[in-house]
Structure 1
Amino acid sequence: MNLKDKKCLIAYFSRKGTNYVSRRIVDLPIGNTEVVAKMIQEVTGSDMLHIEAVKSYPKDYTETTEVAQDELRANVRPELTNHVENMDSYDVIFLGYPNWWGTMPMPVFTFLEEYNFSGKTIVPFCTHEGSGLGHSEKDIAKLCPEATVLKGLAIHGTSAASAKTNVSNWLDKMGIS
């Protein structure tokens, strides 16, 4: 699919702070998904939106995983801090997120339910520590049945900072770079 002449938005959820990387907890000044989102933006020149919940997640990694699991179980839709004013102007949405409990964090669900994606192309990308995209692509397709959901890119969080070649190759396959 050639997406080169399409207007694109990179919408991503990313969490900085203590994170699980290579079987240990480390403090990340920039979340892994944001690192990958910026790589996509470098190549595409797309607009960017950081999906953020009004109520911040705990700084502690373990506490965050517990909150995330509770939100998933309760099917919570956290309120978001910012919104896209002109979603109709975008043809392609690069949707980025870390894999939390086999899918997207719940603020990403809120984002997807906030807009009409009919006729748009959604291109998922995620960072993870071994679980890939999980069932997030199926969840996106279920939430946005009138959108085209392309095959996503899963980047191991440990290698997010060095994923530029993988990102470029992925974008090449879509006719973007």
Structure 2
Amino acid sequence: MKKFALVLAVLLSAFGVAAESKKSPSVLVVYFSHRGSTKTVGNWIADCADADIFEIEPQKAYPSTYEETLPIARSEQDETMRPLIKKRLQNLESYDVVFIGYPLWFGKMPMILYTFFDEYDFSGKKIVPFVTYGGSPVARGWDEIPQLEPEAQIIGKLAVKNGKVKKSKSTVEKFVKSLNLKDFANQN
């Protein structure tokens, strides 16, 4: 059977007939989630995009309640801290498209995302930030990534309000499909 396939491939190439390549891009979903909303959205994206998934976990866990986390998050931002990440992402270079998700804290990325961007080079990558938010203005939540990764390209943005996450699955799926990810295969 292997000989037949080899002979067929040689004959087809000799006559100028090539198999059509519909290679999908290699897609990764990276997220940091404090209370689960961003994780939920990240899992939906990974399912829809047939993506690998990586959770950014702090070495020192944040308190479980939002109220207890607020002063810590504020202190991290005020002091431009870089919280340590528990485990390293392997093989970022093998991905074409990277979805990066996080909750907005005071209208910005949590400082652990700065740690993440400090540790990895996204040059040539297509990045799709997705955020979950409560009362923070979303517009500022996008500003930091192009400054941190000027050699990457933002190809879309998604914001999901915390109180509406459970009802947003179809919106998330439509957003992912609208990106036409196959267009970005092997462009690194």
Q: TM-score by structure 2 length? A: 0.81
65-74 vs 157-166, which deviates more?
157-166
- What is the CA-CA distance between 1:154 and the residue it aligns to? 0.4
Change (3 A) 1:150 1:176: closer
Q: Is the 1:132–1:154 contact (alpha carbons within 8 Å) kept by the matching residues of 2?
A: no
What is the count of residue pairs matched by the alignment?
160
1:150 aligns with 2:145: no
**Residue 168 of structure 1 is aligned with which of 173, 176, 179?**
173
Change (3 A) 1:132 1:163: farther
Q: TM-score by structure 1 length? A: 0.85
1:101 aligns with 2:120: no
Bigger fraction of residues in helix? 2
Structure-2 residue corresponding to 1:52: 57
Q: Is the 1:99–1:134 contact (alpha carbons within 8 Å) kept by the matching residues of 2?
A: no
Q: Where do residues 1-150 of structure 1 align in structure 2 (5 Å cutoff)?
A: 5-16=24-35, 31-150=36-155
Q: Is the 1:14–1:33 contact (alpha carbons within 8 Å) kept by the matching residues of 2?
A: yes
Question: Structure 1 stretches (4+) deviating beyond 4 angstroms?
Answer: none
Local SS of the residue matching 1:131: coil
Q: Is the 2:156–2:179 contact (alpha carbons within 8 Å) kept by the matching residues of 1?
A: no
Q: Is the 2:82–2:111 contact (alpha carbons within 8 Å) kept by the matching residues of 1?
A: yes
* Cα distance in 1, alignment partners of residues 176 and 138 from structure 2: 17
Runs of 5+ in structure 2 lacking a partner? Answer: 1-22, 183-188
